[in-house]
Amino acid sequence: MGLSANAKDFTITAPPGSDITNILLKTFNEACQFPTKSSVLIPKGEYKLGKIEMMGPCKAPIRITLQGTVKADGNVNGNDFWIAFRRINGFKLNGGGIFDGEGNAAWRANNCDKMALTQCKKLPISIRFDYVTDAKIRGITSLDAKNFHINVLGARNMTLEEVTIIAPDESPNTDGIHVGRSDGVKIIDSIIKTGDDCVSVGDGTRDLLVERVTCGPGHGISIGSLGLYGKEEDVTGIRVSNCTLLNTDNGVRIKTWPSAACSTTASGIHFENIILKNVTNPILIDQEYCPWNRCNKNKPSTIKLVDISFKHIRGTSGNKDAVKLLCSKGFPCKNVEIGDINIKYTGADGPATFQCSNVSPKLMGTQVPKACSGPVTKLPGQ
């Protein structure tokens, strides 16, 4: 496996088609307790894998190499995750293998559009990384997750590279990669095709880079939603660059709830060098985000948006609303920059429009469509 002389390789030996849950957990725990670097290999072949939690801390850096395919069962059993890696420092996951979440049966059981969010049927996230530090995830595929494909919580210095995520566009709540309460995460050179946000950013995220990601189908690349829960943490230092969005329901967006349960700030959010192909809502700030009308839109969002930029964004829109900056009337957006955008729409109800509410953006370079065709509310003191 290319490890040093003091390292140790562990290999899962099981016939293809068998359930490797117990042997993988046992092998991981042995490797985790090895005093120097270790590696766990899941060889080529197709294997069954049940719910599994691989928990650190480990005594030394550890690598899992998945060359084959592991398949979840099709049951909708109320678990909140399928595979979890937790509290590991110095972690690698690679090998070119596939995590198959067998999500088709679960999507039919999804009922979040019919009841309160707190009463939704709990469906398992495919892969969780909880409090994993100094980690590199490279060259894996997540297929047909029942819920989110990958959830990153409490990470420090983590890179996800050349990750492939695949699910049908009609699969509900199958966010590609969700990042929350993490610092120093990079998502680069990846392809995400799914039924919800390709990348979603939750509260407490700091210093996130999303670069050279191709998204579509899906709901685009989203900051938020923010403000649904109390005690949310600030979001700061988000950069999305050199990404391509294809036939997505949204492009690059920031979404916060009205009647928010907290008062936090999202700042230093920059979208640049984005290519759009038939993208609905290509550029969107939505501080009236309220799916299924389960909030009070008359109470403005208390999430403050500061230092936001959209630069060098070009391509085609799937509807005439090419740019919508719908900020909170309670806390208007501050220091929003728009520079060198060229978004075209050729529908019969055209041309493309640029709407502003409770924001006065700083304009740089050229804007197609012409900036701020809707009502503009100037910021205090302007």
Which are the catalytic amino acids? 219
Q: How far apart are CA 185 and CA 31, in angstroms?
A: 26
In angstroms and rounded to an integer, the radius of gyration of the C-alpha atoms of the chain is 22
Contact 313, 283 (CB under 8 A): yes
- In the chain the first and final C-alpha atoms are separated, in Å, by 63
Q: What is the dihedral of CA 230, 89, 140, 108, to 10 degrees?
A: -30
The DSSP 8-state label assigned to residue 118 in this structure reads G
* Structure-block tokens of residue 213: 């990601």
Q: How far apart are CA 219 and CA 195, in angstroms?
A: 7
* Structure-block tokens of residue 233: 């943490």
Sequence letter at residue 246:
L
Nearest residue to 251 via CA among 199, 182, 303: 199
Which residue has 């117990």 as its token pair? 22
Q: Tell me the DSSP string of 256-323.
A: E-SS-SS--EEEEEEEEEEEEEEESSSEEEETT--GGG-S-TTS----EEEEEEEEEEEEEESSSEEE
Report the SS3 class of residue 29. helix
Contact 303, 266 (CB under 8 A): yes
Q: How far apart are CA 124 and CA 45, in angstroms?
A: 24
Sequence letter at residue 61:
P
* Structure-block tokens of residue 106: 């679960």
Q: What share of the chain is helix, strand, coil (3-state, %, to 5)?
A: 5, 45, 45
